[in-house]
Amino acid sequence: MARIAYDDRDAAAFLANRHLTDDGLAAWRAAVARHLRPLPGRRLLDLGAGTGSWARAFTAWFPGLEVVAVEPSAAMRARSVHRPVVAGDATHLPLTAGCTDAAWMSTMVHHVPDLGAAARELRRVVRPGGPLLIRSVFAGRYEGLTLVRYFPEAAAVLDTYPSVADVEAAFATAGFRTVALEPVAQTTAGSVREAAAALRRDAHTPLKLIGDEAYAAGVRRLRTAADTVPGPVVDTMDLLVLR
């Protein structure tokens, strides 16, 4: 099972709070384009597609690229901005062997209960040589996250996430090898004030898993910073690319 079960409230918060603006997406478009050959007629699996923001972005960025969205949460699928989206998870993909040219996994690898089983499923459905692009915060690599600055208790949750080495080892059992690990800086919000106003606890796994007092203290820090910290909110996350 995933770390949290995405119900209607979680899905609504995710839709409202976790879709990046064009400014936030720009760096990811460039990073993805370096590793994905998004030619017309190719097929990309968006695994753990959530409410569909990445599937929508890929189809807008790369005309002719077919995006197959797979999401286990019925609440997320109901709110998806991309259609179609089908039920399934990383260890049980409703796809035929060798039917995709690449796969994308965004902020979901920490929800996978058996990385080895997921690796075998992805090896089955992704054609040989196709890239697997994993966008994530990995254990020990969260120093670029604004969230941790204001909610320091979230670091303990993030340290329970798989590390880069954990993912590499699990996927090596299915024949995947690392070809790149790139930190990507994204503009998450136009200002700290904007980030504070938009914050939804249910949209962030680490915030759901810290205590109520720790969360309330973090909200106070964030609101105080909104009056004093200038400039946009820029977060750094990793793109791990396997083939």
Q: What rounded mean pLDDT belongs to the chain?
A: 93
pLDDT higher than 50, residue 215: yes
Q: What are 218-237's pLDDT values in tens digits? A: 999 999 999 999 999 999 99
Which pLDDT score is estimated for 4?
A: 61
- Split at pLDDT 50, 70, 90, the class of 30 is very high
Average pLDDT over residues 64-83: 95
- Split at pLDDT 50, 70, 90, the class of 49 is very high
- Split at pLDDT 50, 70, 90, the class of 13 is low
Domain boundaries, the chain: 8-141+162-189+237-242
Annotation: CATH topology of 8-141+162-189+237-242: Rossmann fold (3.40.50)
Which pLDDT score is estimated for 1?
A: 45
Q: What are 146-177's pLDDT values in tens digits? A: 999 999 999 999 999 999 999 999 999 999 99
Tell me which H or E stretch contains 55.
helix 53-61
The number of residues making up the chain comes to 243
**Backbone phi, then psi, for 60, in 5-degree steps?**
-75, -40
Residue with token string 């904007």? 194
3-state secondary structure of 52: coil
pLDDT higher than 70, residue 73: yes
Closest to 188 in 3D by CA, of 139, 126, 235: 235
pLDDT higher than 90, residue 9: no
Strands 233-242 and 132-136: antiparallel
For 52, residues 6+ apart whose C-beta sits below 8 A from its C-beta are: 69, 79, 80, 81, 82, 83, 85
Residue type, 51: T
Q: What are 109-131's pLDDT values in tens digits? A: 999 999 999 999 999 999 999 99
What secondary structure, in 3-state letters, does 180-213 show?
Answer: EEEEEEEEEECCHHHHHHHCCHHHCHHHHCCCHH
